[in-house]
Structure 1
Amino acid sequence: MLNDTALDTLFYAARTHNGWLERPVSDAQLAHLFDLMKWGPTSANSSPARIVFVKSAAEKERLATCMAPGNAPKVLAAPVTAIVGMDMEFYEKLPYLAPHMDARSWFTGNQALADATAFRNSSLQGAYLIMAARAIGLDCGPMSGFDADKVNAAFFAGSTVKANFVCSLGYGDATKVHPRAPRLSFDEVCKIV
């Protein structure tokens, strides 16, 4: 069981950041983050997430042109912004990822199932990315305000990958965090049957 400090780091004290300190995030930190997140479960070990870590000034500018006006400055200020994509043909890797069964056959010829699985499981992996980032001391600013077609053309052209969401990463500036918003209670959300 995790102690209270770990739970605060991952959940209770963790915040969505909109402003960033001028502290770099190393490539080694990003590799460590991925090495943690990849162990999170996905259906049939499908692992459809594909990630572009946007670090350079030129690529940040390119990504900023794809973002909603309120999110563009966040991308420009963050040390890194991860584009969490989903490989729409993730099932081609299933003979390697799930060698104990013929999971590939579940998806070939069933585009609706493949699309739903890619979206659901890349979203899960994006959540694992956030938790892994927090676990190694980074702050996160996930965003869905962007033009997916523009992001796909700019970062995934000629591939089978489509953008799911973006998440800025770095060391958050606590002075720019909004007041904590409320959450729904257990009784409002949950039912035990």
Structure 2
Amino acid sequence: MSLALDSAAQDLLFREARTANAFTDEPVTDDQVEAVYDLVKYGPTSMNQQPLRMVLVRSAEARERLVGYLSEGNRKKTAAAPLVVILAADLEFHEELPTQFPHFPQAKSLFAERAVREPSARLNASLQVGYFVIGVRAAGLAAGPMTGFDAEGIDKEFFSDGEHSVLAVVNIGRPGENAWFARSPRLAYEQVVTTV
């Protein structure tokens, strides 16, 4: 089987990478997060939409506010993680479409309807969430993405403008002691792929 990435890169990004549940105390810097973003912003989305927005939860006060909205199993590890990031879809992303975008007039018109814009924002920001997790791994860090939370509560607490919708909360850092659960099985190619 031939892939452009060498085996070590494949392992770093996929085969050996796992969701981390414990981290060391080593901080995650703004420079590291910026480097991750500067890589993953190039991931493909429909019509080059970029609806993903990130909130870096660094202060103890903000962390405490967030943890209260997480499911019980996610609270302790989030309280202790070096960095927590709230990843959300900007439901008004169309206001940020670059004017040099080839289909700018058609896109602005298409996304003027919230019924069209909102599902597109959620789908494309979700793609960007996946890219973000891979980018964290590419930076040599571990990610612990979570969806076990009160989304409505987080939206009200952190996005009171009503223009953003949380998709995931991600703990980030260097993996600590007992960071990994046992690897869960994956479906085989034959179970997933059909040809028509």
TM-score, normalised to structure 2, is 0.93
1:4 paired to 2:20: no
Residue pairs, 1:107-126, within 5 angstroms: 107-109=111-113, 111-126=114-129
Q: Alignment partner of 1:117: what SS? A: helix
Q: Alignment partner of 2:85: what SS? A: strand
Moved more, 147-156 or 135-144: 147-156
**1:192 deviation in Å?**
2.2
Q: Alignment partner of 1:70: what SS? A: helix
Give percent identity, aligned residues only: 40
What amino acid is aligned across from residue 22 of structure 2 in structure 1? Answer: G
What amino acid is aligned across from residue 117 of structure 1 in structure 2? Answer: S
Gaps of 5+ in 2: none
- Report the Cα distance in structure 2 between the residues aligned to 1:135 and 1:62, rounded to whole angstroms: 30
**1:14 deviation in Å?**
0.2
- Report the Cα distance in structure 2 between the residues aligned to 1:47 and 1:84, rounded to whole angstroms: 12
Q: Which of 135, 138, 143 is residue 140 of structure 1 equivalent to?
A: 143
Residue pairs, 1:1-193, within 5 angstroms: 1-96=4-99, 98-102=101-105, 103-109=107-113, 111-173=114-176, 175-193=178-196
What amino acid is aligned across from residue 14 of structure 1 in structure 2? Answer: A
**Contact preservation (8 Å) 1:21, 1:172:** yes
Q: Alignment partner of 1:66: what SS? A: coil
**Contact preservation (8 Å) 2:159, 2:165:** yes
- Report the Cα distance in structure 2 between the residues aligned to 1:140 and 1:19, rounded to whole angstroms: 10
**1:15 deviation in Å?**
0.3
**Contact preservation (8 Å) 2:52, 2:89:** yes
**1:25 deviation in Å?**
0.5
**Contact preservation (8 Å) 1:88, 1:115:** yes
**Contact preservation (8 Å) 1:89, 1:160:** yes
What amino acid is aligned across from residue 13 of structure 1 in structure 2? Answer: E
Q: Alignment partner of 2:140: what SS? A: coil
What amino acid is aligned across from residue 57 of structure 2 in structure 1? Answer: V
- Report the Cα distance in structure 2 between the residues aligned to 1:97 and 1:87, rounded to whole angstroms: 20
CA-to-partner distance for each residue in 1:62-85, whole Å, 9 max, x for gaps?
110111111111211111111110
Considering only aligned residues, what root-mean-square deviation do their CA atoms show, in Å? 1.4
CA-to-partner distance for each residue in 1:140-166, whole Å, 9 max, x for gaps?
000000111111122111251111111
Gaps of 5+ in 1: none
What amino acid is aligned across from residue 63 of structure 2 in structure 1? Answer: K
**1:96 deviation in Å?**
3.1
- Report the Cα distance in structure 1 between the residues aligned to 2:39 and 2:96, rounded to whole angstroms: 20
TM-score, normalised to structure 1, is 0.94
